[in-house]
A and B are shown apart, each in its own frame.
Chain A
Amino acid sequence: MSERFEERAVLSGVGQSAIGRQIDRSAFQLTLDAVLGAVADAGLTVDDIDGIATFPGGGKANLPGYASPGIYEVQDALGIGTTWRLGMNEGFCLPFHGAVQAVASGVARHVVVYRTVKEGSAARSAGGRPAYGSTRPEAEGPMQWLLPIGALSPVCHVAPYATRYLHEFGATRQQLGWIPVTQRAHAGRNPDAVYRDPLSLDDYLASRMISTPICLFDCDVPIDGATAFVVSAADTARDLRAPVGIEAMAGVCEDRPSWEQWRDMTRVGHGTAAAMWARTDLGPADVDVAQLYDGFTIEVIWWLEALGFCGVGEGAAFVDGGTRIDLGGELPMNTWGGQLSGGRLHAGFGHTAEAMRQLRGEAEGRQVDGAEVAVVTNAGGFESGAAVLTAWRG
């Protein structure tokens, strides 16, 4: 491969606040916990930080507890100057995508990226998971085609993808159920996961339907918590405690940027995955551990197929029985419990945090032996992002 800009950056730090169904601290304090933790984990001080980013930026979210605190307040509280900042509401694909480009181009040296959610507390206040429009009861932009008819949640927007997938390939809910069942077993080994008691396939099949074919245990868990990373220039690696390499990343949207207008709902993320693999000599067979976005179980299926771990239409059979995606399987997957049991840290932040732990050999209680190559994905459809991260070889 010719020189890749990813080589000029590393993931240097990860920090997380307390994570739970309800944490009685403000989103701002949780953010500071994660940011300070990430900086210390990198082996840096706050004064080293010259860039800051978050998703989504303050302001526009129309779901209570969803938006992170704004970067102006966080920057001001940290007392730092910056050469690069990014608080984005749209076009997001991976937690570190923009920061890596900033560092690789030399605009910044050490960028901190954070994502904070208070969706657990928001759900408790609302007496259930809130609908879109709960914060501002008017449906703007693309939402005006969905919220007036009662498609009030991301569940309703992703459900037709699952319906179409099961229809075209003859896959079953029983097969999809092995994703939350297996990930719950992983969560049992992660003291920070929000749901740790074993889940059986019968529990899954008996759970209440939210929007067919998506039942309760197909959905991730709204929580309170914050995650932060530091992205550093690779030439600072000697000063860093435990850097992680960035082999390749891509955030490509090859179809219409819309949940409902996506043409083929059975093939999602394929353009993103192809663009990512084109940037490395590594391939699916080289991956030791996979952290695949799991806002809903069907999203895991998309990524298994898009990344080439199995063929199109084979994802449900791949997870059936759970043995392939178990800790000792051919593709240990969502080893922290994923968003389904670890909690909805959202936007690939929880997945990236676990990939870093695995590649550093710091995933205590659930470490995959010899994990040197990890794949991380975010969302799907028009918010797709995919990356390969590697253990640092210096």
Chain B
Amino acid sequence: MALAGIPPAVTEETAPFWEAAREGRLVVERCRACGAEAFPPAGICRACRSRETEHAEVAGPGVVYSFTVNHHRWLPDLEVPFALVWVDFPDHPGVRVVGRVRGCEPDGVRIGMAVDVGFEEGPNGFAVPSFVARPEDVLVGETGLQSPESTTRTGEGA
């Protein structure tokens, strides 16, 4: 079932992101001049202001910088609780993407937890970021993780 939410208003700058998302790929903007990567896409490099940008795929894994478990039903068909994760990519400085997370219980999400790139069907048929937890892989020391046996892996991507 599609996730409830408000659909994006797609623009010239963001259309490549949403199109790649339908294919299960996470793309960010990369500067052809200096190589800097950035999100969200803007058609200009934030580092050197070159207008020569391209879309580059980020394969992951990412690391959970922070998270929240949302309990409030903001929309009538919004299923709660669910976790949202703010994901940084160690190999892609400057790139942070926010998304849902699957592969562990909402309360099992931890800062420093590794996640794989993935997408789920969201509002109006858009594929929205939905990372896949790898709770056995903690890139920053943390306590209180679920044991791997208690998690339910739901597979890669969308």
Contact = CB atoms under 8 A, between A and B. Distances in A.
Contacts of B111: 163-164, 167
A261 interface: yes
Interface stretch (A31-39, A135-143, A273-281, A327-335): A135-143
Interface stretch (A97-105, A146-154, A382-390): A146-154
B8 A150 contact: no
Contacts of A144: 8-10, 14
Given A160-B86, A163-B111, A164-B65, A148 B72 contact: no
A213 B82 CA distance: 13
A130 B82 CA distance: 18
Contacts of B16: none
Nearest to B127: A148
A214 B71 CA distance: 10
A260 B86 contact: yes
Contact of A145 (B10, B82, B98): B98
B129 A149 contact: yes
A210 interface: yes
Interface residues of A, number: 41
Interface residues of B, number: 38
Contacts of A23: none
A197 B100 CA distance: 38
B43 interface: no
Interface string B48-72: 0000000000000000011111111
A283 B70 CA distance: 39
B7 A138 contact: yes
Contacts of A128: 72-73
Contacts of A147: 5-6, 8
B96 A261 contact: yes
Contacts of B8: 138-139, 144-145, 147-148
A363 interface: no
Contacts of A146: 98
B3 A210 contact: no
A132 interface: yes
Nearest to B101: A149
A156 interface: yes
A21 to B, nearest CB: 18
Contact of A211 (B3, B72, B130): B72
A133 interface: yes
B28 to A, nearest CB: 12
B20 interface: no
B4 interface: yes
A147 B97 CA distance: 13
B137 to A, nearest CB: 18
Given A138-B7, A160-B86, A149 B74 contact: no
B7 A137 contact: yes
Contacts of A150: 3-5, 70, 74, 78, 82, 84, 100
A128 B126 CA distance: 27
B122 A139 contact: no
B72 A151 contact: no
Contact of A131 (B10, B74, B84, B128): B74
B72 A153 contact: yes
A52 interface: no
Given A140-B9, A144-B8, A164-B111, A149 B122 contact: yes
A144 B6 CA distance: 8
A26 interface: no
B107 to A, nearest CB: 8
Contact of A149 (B10, B14, B67, B100): B100
A319 interface: no
B71 A152 contact: no
A260 B6 contact: no
B111 to A, nearest CB: 5
A212 B96 contact: no
Given A147-B8, A167-B66, 14 more contacts: A138-B7, A139-B7, A140-B9, A147-B5, A147-B6, A148-B6, A149-B128, A150-B4, A160-B68, A211-B70, A212-B68, A260-B96, A261-B39, A265-B65
Interface of B: 3-10, 14, 39-40, 65-75, 78, 82, 84, 86, 96-100, 111, 122-123, 126, 128-130
17 contacts: A144-B9, A145-B8, A148-B5, A148-B6, A149-B84, A150-B5, A150-B84, A151-B70, A152-B6, A152-B74, A152-B75, A160-B68, A164-B111, A208-B71, A209-B71, A211-B69, A212-B70
